[in-house]
Amino acid sequence: MTLTTARYVAAAALVPSDPGDPQVEVLTNLVDSVTPPALMVGWGDPWVVAEPATVRGKLLRARLTVWAIAGRLEPGPGVEYLETLVAYVIDRIEASPYPWGLPNVSAPRVFPIGNLDYLAAQVAYLAPVTTSED
């Protein structure tokens, strides 16, 4: 998989398809407004890490990050819903045929978007990628 297609492949794996899936919007770009619940697929830091040379050339690992956004900071079961979203992300990414690697998940935290505060967590993967299809 190439660096330019990884976000879209991950997003496709996250789109709700079963009646029991959380009804979330899956975003493939960073945005300045969001309607929760939402999953925003983007890049983490460091973005790309080089691996030792392989038979086919250089292998890279890119830090793909899914922001699980449960809702605005309001009284109610926000953390519980966030736990459901994070479990959903992990289950769906692990079920996809691509070897994303093991997830690294942040604790619930305030995530500002467009001057509004949301309850969110980051689910990050080090995904093997290449720079081209060659």
Three-state secondary structure call for residue 106: coil
Residue 63: inside a domain: yes
Residue 109: inside a domain: yes
| Of 68 and 134, the one with more pLDDT | 68
pLDDT value at residue 77: 77
Q: Which domain holds residue 89?
A: 6-129
Looking at the predicted structure, is the pLDDT value of residue 15 above 70? yes
Residue 1: inside a domain: no
Looking at the predicted structure, is the pLDDT value of residue 14 above 90? yes
Read off the CATH number of the domain in which 41 is found: 3.30.70
Looking at the predicted structure, is the pLDDT value of residue 134 above 80? no
Per-residue pLDDT reduced to its tens digit, 52-82: 665 555 678 999 999 999 998 877 778 999 9
Residue 134: inside a domain: no
Q: Give how far Cα 116 sits from Cα of 54, 69, 109, 113, 119, Å.
A: 45, 12, 13, 5, 10
Overall number of domains in the chain: 1
Residue 114: inside a domain: yes
Per-residue pLDDT reduced to its tens digit, 77-98: 789 999 999 999 999 999 999 9
**Residues constituting the chain:** 134
Per-residue pLDDT reduced to its tens digit, 100-129: 988 999 999 999 999 999 999 999 999 999
